[in-house]
Every structure is written in C-alpha cells, then in structure tokens.
Structure 1
Amino acid sequence: MATALLMVDMQNAFLDMTKVALPNIVKLSQHFSSNSWPRIFTQHGHTREELTPPFKNQLVRKWGPDGSIAKGSLSWEFIPDIKQLITSDSPIIPKNTYDAFLGTDLEKRLHDLGVKRLVVCGVMTDCCCDTTARGAFNRGFETWLVSDATGTANKIQHERGLNAFGFAYGDVITTDEVLKRLK
C-alpha cells in the first residue's frame, strides 16, 4: 500500500514541544527518503492581512495576532533539523487552520501520488496533528498517528489527543512500530 509521511508544522514556534518527537521524526523522514516514499511538510502561518483587524481567520480570532504565527517570521521557519530534511522536490503545504486538508491541495497531491495510507507526525498532537489525521481518515486514507513523533504543550494534552484519535479514527503507534509495519 502506498504510504506517505506527513510532518506537521515542525516550526520554530513549536520547538519546545518537539524534544521527544524530533529525533523520531528525523528517523521516520530518513527511512521514507531512503525508500523513495513521499514525504510532505506542512507550514502553519498567517498573512499580514489575517493578522490585522477585523480578524477574518478563526485561529487569529481565537489566539489573537500575538499568539499567531506570522508568515516570514522566525517562528514561522522550520526547525533547523527539519530544514535539513527538505529537498527541492519536497512538497510544503502552507496552511492557516488546524486541518492541513482545509483550503489546501494536500488531498489532490496524495491522490496524485497514489497514497492510500498516511503516517502523521509533528506538532501539536491535540490540535493540528489530530485534526489533520482525522481529516485524512474522513477522506478515506488509512491513518497512523505516531505517538512518540508528535508533541504538544504538556503530557496530559498529548495523551488525550492520542486517545481520542485512537478511539475512533486510526492507529496510534510508535516510530518503531511504523518501521516494523512498513517492512
């Protein structure tokens, strides 16, 4: 089954949330790359217009302009370890909502690649990762959310996000389990 790795929002704004996840994301990315399997990155950010009142973007209304990531800012840039994984042919999906499918061409790209299974990792477990993974499931993709390759603000939020996804949507598995299943 054609499988893609989706690395969600591995940006400087979330660096503190990636301590456990980052080495596992690098490991997964390198495995996918060495097998010539698709690797896709998302990058969350808001335009100057979205950050200016009246706020039309729901997330900017929720978090305010100071709690939102401005496109082009240092917070918006990829974490250096992730930046090194991006090649000239690596798709980067710009997004401004939790769900990487909403208002983007992610679904089309996955279908064009013949992908049937999506492995989701990145940040935040209980926001963008969970919402995007649910979006993948709802679009017919077999979806794995990688427990030790996702991160969020704290352990309770992390566990709640994983449990909610695993209950009704897809598999919650570790990096080692992903590698074992893909052999």
Structure 2
Amino acid sequence: MATALLVVDMQSFFSSMTTKALPNVLKLVSHFHSQALPVFFTQHGHTKEELSPPYPNPLVRKWGPDGSIAIGSAEWKLQPEIEEVCKADELVPKNTYDAFINTQLEAKLKDAWVCRVVVCGTMTDCCCDTTARSAFNRGFETWLVDDACGTANEKQHKAGLRGFGFAFGEIMMTKDVLQKLP
C-alpha cells in the first residue's frame, strides 16, 4: 500500500497565502517524485455557467463571481514553481472545497493502492482541511502538513489545523513527513 501526496490549489489566486508554504510543498513533491510515490495536484476553478446567475455552484453563491476563480483566467493557473513539477496525469480539476466531490481523485488513489494521503497546499482551513477530512472519511490515513499549508492569516491556519488534528488525522511538519516516509 502506498502513500500519496495531495497538493491542493497551489494557484496564482492564492500566491500571497503560500509564500512560506511553497518551499515545503516543493520539498514534498520532490521527495514523492524521487521515491516514485503518487502525487496529485488539484486546481480549483469555475466554468462560465457556474459564474452566471442563478449561480448553480454553492461556492460561487457564497463568494460571488468576482470572488471566484474562472477556469482559464490568470488567477486559475498554477503557481509557476508548481507548474514546473506538475505532470499532466497528476492534475485533478475541482470546483468545490472537497477534492473528492465531482472528481476522479478517489478512483486514482485506489488505482494506485494508496492507503495514506499527505495533504498540503492552500487554504489550510478550507480546501486542505475539507479534502483531508474527506480522505479520512473515505478510509485513508491522513496527514495534514502544517508548514506546507497556507491561508489568509495565522488565526485561520491554526484553527484549521486544530479542528482537523482533534478528530481526523495527524498534523505534521515537512521534516517529520520526510523522516517517516521511505
């Protein structure tokens, strides 16, 4: 059984939230690739239909079309450093916080015989936390990487980690993940 890395939404829209996390995300990706362990990158975005009234997507209703990421926009693109290390078959498009809803992520993990997922990226308290909880609820052992996640501010970051760590999985630092894996 394998361990997979889930790199959540490291897109231009979130660049300002991930300046501290980015180097650690890249360390994790490099390690997983060097060990031939599965890596998946999510990319959040909304279609023109989702960004048009009556806004069928609940996130667009919550944040409005101007606060949502349009597929194909500059904000939708992966951060350049992430784009360099992301292979086409590793990309999982999504349109909600949970990377398992409306995607092929679970099937890809099962096809790779994954039993544990390591989650990093942005936003700690939204997409990372929701995806990590969803992985746990689907039976995967789940680690959320503190110093490889970013969000709007430290208070939200800590709240996301605290809630996840209480009931769902392990909170780890990048160095701990690298030490525990082959």
Matched with 1:35 is 35
Question: Partner residue of 1:55?
Answer: 55
Superposed displacement of residue 91, structure 1: 1.7
- Note the alpha carbon deviations across 1:69-95, whole angstroms, 9 max, x for none: 00000000000000010124x421110
Deviation at 1:24, TM superposition (A): 0.1
Partner AA of 1:40 in structure 2: F
In structure 1, give the amino acid aligned to 2:109.
Answer: L
**Structure 1 match to 2:149:** 150
Find the residue that maps to 1:48 and give its secondary structure.
Answer: coil
Give the equivalent residue in structure 2 for 1:131.
Answer: 130
Structure 1 distance, partners of 2:92, 2:144, is: 18
Cα distance in 2 for partners of 1:166, 1:87 equals 30
Cα distance in 2 for partners of 1:35, 1:162 equals: 27
Gaps (5+ residues) in structure 2?
none
Percent identity of equivalent pairs: 62
Corresponding residue of 2:73: 73
Moved over 6 A (4+): none
Q: Does 1:118 align with 2:144?
A: no
Deviation sequence 1:146-176 (CA, Å, 0-9, x none) = 0000000000000000000000000000000
Q: CA RMSD in A?
A: 0.7
Aligned position for 2:159? 160
In structure 1, the partner of 2:16 is 16
2:87, 2:115 → 1: CA distance? Answer: 23
**Corresponding residue number in structure 1 for 2:178:** 179
Equivalenced residues, count: 182
Amino acid in structure 1 at the alignment position of 2:26: V
Q: Distance in 2 between matches of 1:72 and 1:103?
A: 19
Extract unaligned runs of 5+ from structure 1: none
Aligned to 1:83: 83
The one-letter code matched in structure 1 to 2:154 is: K
